[in-house]
């Protein structure tokens, strides 16, 4: 894997803090058009869950998207080589569909530190009047089951995906999200793909900037919607970063070090 296609440590820290990374207009226009035609005809084959992604879609435009070197670099950095295909979905919101989807996280409560990723691929322009998917940065460590969060409607810091065609977002499996209303005359599409790792998720990215002084600040982001629990969020990010780094001593601003200080050595008698 060419290092220039891998994520940097700062991008990985952003993923640890936000639970998502966004790549605007990453996919070339020619491929976006081919995918648009493919999903419009509902002609994307459905591979078998748990089989290697490399076996999926040998002849389709969707397959070409996920074989692009830049996309392979994102995949390798987060879930390593040879991930497994979990499932995909062509999400649609019809013209003049005025109701937003309720907030949810996909699947069910997931207690792993190991994580799956989901790609959200927008193959056509998505202005705000068309949606798109609303995401809640920083929500991925919360232990909830699917639509348990359906009572909530709005959060400080919620981020609607408005983008140009070819934009790719990769999210941690736990991210809270909901489709937004489509006030236009056009059908809106979003292609979602979930992948599972097959290797330990340990320093799989380009680690040249591992000591970048900006990383503690990135891991300390305050997304505001969780209010007083921001310090608990930071603790969960530190634990995740320790997992990714293989460094059980890593800390940010001494949050865990003070809690782990339990000296047992006794003073010698004078």
Partner 1 sequence: MPQLRQKLLALYAHSPDLNSAVVSWSQYDGTGKTPVTTGDNDTPPYPSVVAAMKEGWRVIQFPQQFPAYPGMEYNTSYLRYEYILEKMEEIDGP
Residues in contact with partner 1 by the rule CB under 8 A? 98-103, 134, 141-144, 148-149, 151-156, 158, 160, 178, 180-181, 224-229, 232-233, 235-236, 239
Under 8 Å between Cβ of 98 and 183: yes
Q: Which is nearer to partner 1, 148 or 209 (CB)?
A: 148
Q: Which is nearer to partner 1, 40 or 95 (CB)?
A: 95
Rounded to the nearest 10 degrees, the angle between the axes of helix 9-18 and helix 69-79 is 60
3-state secondary structure of 178: strand
According to DSSP, the β-strands at 167-172 and 117-122 are: antiparallel
CB of 63 to partner 1, least distance (A): 32
CB of 25 to partner 1, least distance (A): 23
CB of 228 to partner 1, least distance (A): 4
Complete edge-to-edge strand list for the sheet that includes strand 133-136: 159-160, 133-136, 176-179
CB of 149 to partner 1, least distance (A): 7
Q: Which is nearer to partner 1, 160 or 245 (CB)?
A: 160
CB of 5 to partner 1, least distance (A): 33
Q: Which is nearer to partner 1, 23 or 141 (CB)?
A: 141
Q: Which is nearer to partner 1, 11 or 182 (CB)?
A: 182
CB of 184 to partner 1, least distance (A): 16
Q: Which is nearer to partner 1, 2 or 232 (CB)?
A: 232
Give residue 77's region: left, alpha or beta (phi > 0; psi -120 to 50): alpha
Q: Which is nearer to partner 1, 86 or 233 (CB)?
A: 233
CB of 89 to partner 1, least distance (A): 19
Burial of 46 (0-12, 13-18, 19+ CB in 10 A): exposed
Burial of 164 (0-12, 13-18, 19+ CB in 10 A): middle
Under 8 Å between Cβ of 81 and 73: no
């Amino acid at each position: 894997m060419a290092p220039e296609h891998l994520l940097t440590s700062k991008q990985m820290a952003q993923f640890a803090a936000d639970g998502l990374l966004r790549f605007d207009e990453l996919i070339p226009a020619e491929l976006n058009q081919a995918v648009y035609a493919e999903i419009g005809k509902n002609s994307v084959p459905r591979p078998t869950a748990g089989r290697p992604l490399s076996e999926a879609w040998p002849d389709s435009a969707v397959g070409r998207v996920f074989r692009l070197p830049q996309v392979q670099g994102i995949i390798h950095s987060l879930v390593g080589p040879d991930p497994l295909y979990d499932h995909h979905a062509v999400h649609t919101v019809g013209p003049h569909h005025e109701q937003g989807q309720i907030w949810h996280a996909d699947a069910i409560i997931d207690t792993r530190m190991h994580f799956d990723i989901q790609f959200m691929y927008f193959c056509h322009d998505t202005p705000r009047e068309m949606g798109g998917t609303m995401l809640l940065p920083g929500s991925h460590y919360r232990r909830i089951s699917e639509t348990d969060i359906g009572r909530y409607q709005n959060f400080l810091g919620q981020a609607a995906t408005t983008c140009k065609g070819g934009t790719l977002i990769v999210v941690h499996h736990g991210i809270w999200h909901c489709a937004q209303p489509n006030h236009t005359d056009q059908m809106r599409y979003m292609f979602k793909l979930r992948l599972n790792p097959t290797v330990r998720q340990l320093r799989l990215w380009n680690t040249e900037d591992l000591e970048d002084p900006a990383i503690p600040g990135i891991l300390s982001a305050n997304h505001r919607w969780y209010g007083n629990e921001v310090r608990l969020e930071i603790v969960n990010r530190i634990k995740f970063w320790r997992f990714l780094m293989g460094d059980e001593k890593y800390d940010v601003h001494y949050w865990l070090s003070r809690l782990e200080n339990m000296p047992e050595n006794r003073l010698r008698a004078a």
